[in-house]
Amino acid sequence: MARALDHLSLFSSVLSFSFLLAFLCCFETCHSFKPKYFNLSRAGTHWASAGATWYGSPEGAGSDGGSCGYGNAVSQPPFSSMITGIGPSLYKSGKECGACYQVKCTKRMHPSCSGRPVRVVITDFCPGGPCASQSAHFDLSGTAFGAMAIPGQEEKLRNVGVLEIRYARVACDYSGKTIAFHVDLGANPNSFSVLVEFEEGDGDLAGVALKETLKGSGKWRAMQQSWGAVWKLDAGYELKPPFSIQLTSQYSGQTLVAKNVIPDGWKPGSTYRSLVNYL
């Protein structure tokens, strides 16, 4: 009798879980449910240890641009010099360009540390030295490194050398900006390339696809990551604008579409803003 009750209890638990799973699927979460990444917030929750250095001028934006391709945008809003180069473990061959982290240091790490977390965006790659030897390393701009200090003690903190910090992945927040597409200077109708900027939320991209909106087939064509945050399509024929662009997040797998974002008559070097973003 006891064994039968145990079997009945197990059956009820399985049945309850099945109903719960079916309920979630009704709201289209089954295909993208990833417990590890389900609640990416704008405040750090899962903190880990890393090393940190800084580069460029003490109150600057590191270098003018960096390996992600953002150019002088790194010193302008919304990046506002709060950027970082990153070691290979987090750079992931440029797939993590645009991802956001909070970084902080405490008085245990250095007396000039404020303990206040600051948000930075990955815009560059740091290939050698501690960036390569440590399991995680942030090569921050002078501005971002100093922002971890007690006000007035930024210079003391920047004189440390390699600093132990804590870091956490967070959602990007670009104050309501929509995703922008900066057409590469080398783009042409047969080989189209574009830099993708200001992805809120997850911040990074796993895939980009292009569709010739007015063409009969309406087929999405996968673009290849050219370098950093620049994506390219070598079509093999003359592409007919306007173009819609589909973006898939590396972090959550969420997909969105910027419809007709690249207009007829587009020009290399021009930036076109969409009407969409992840948040």
The pLDDT tens digits for 139-160 are: 999 999 999 999 999 999 999 9
Residue 218 pLDDT = 75
Residue 252 pLDDT = 85
CATH (residue range 180-273): 2.60.40.760
Whether residue 199 contacts residue 205, with contact meaning beta carbons closer than 8 Å, is answered with yes
Residue 44 pLDDT = 58
Cα–Cα distance for residue pair 271/181, rounded to 1 Å: 5
Q: Do domains 48-169 and 180-273 have the same CATH topology?
A: no
pTM: 0.81
CATH topology of domain 48-169: Barwin-like endoglucanases (2.40.40)
Residue 65 pLDDT = 75
The pLDDT tens digits for 221-245 are: 999 999 999 999 999 999 999 999 9
Sorted by where each begins, the domain ranges of the chain are 48-169, 180-273
Structure tokens given for 256:
């969105």
Residues with pLDDT less than 70, the chain: 1-40, 42, 44, 215-217
For the beta carbon of residue 160, count every other beta carbon within 10 angstroms: 18
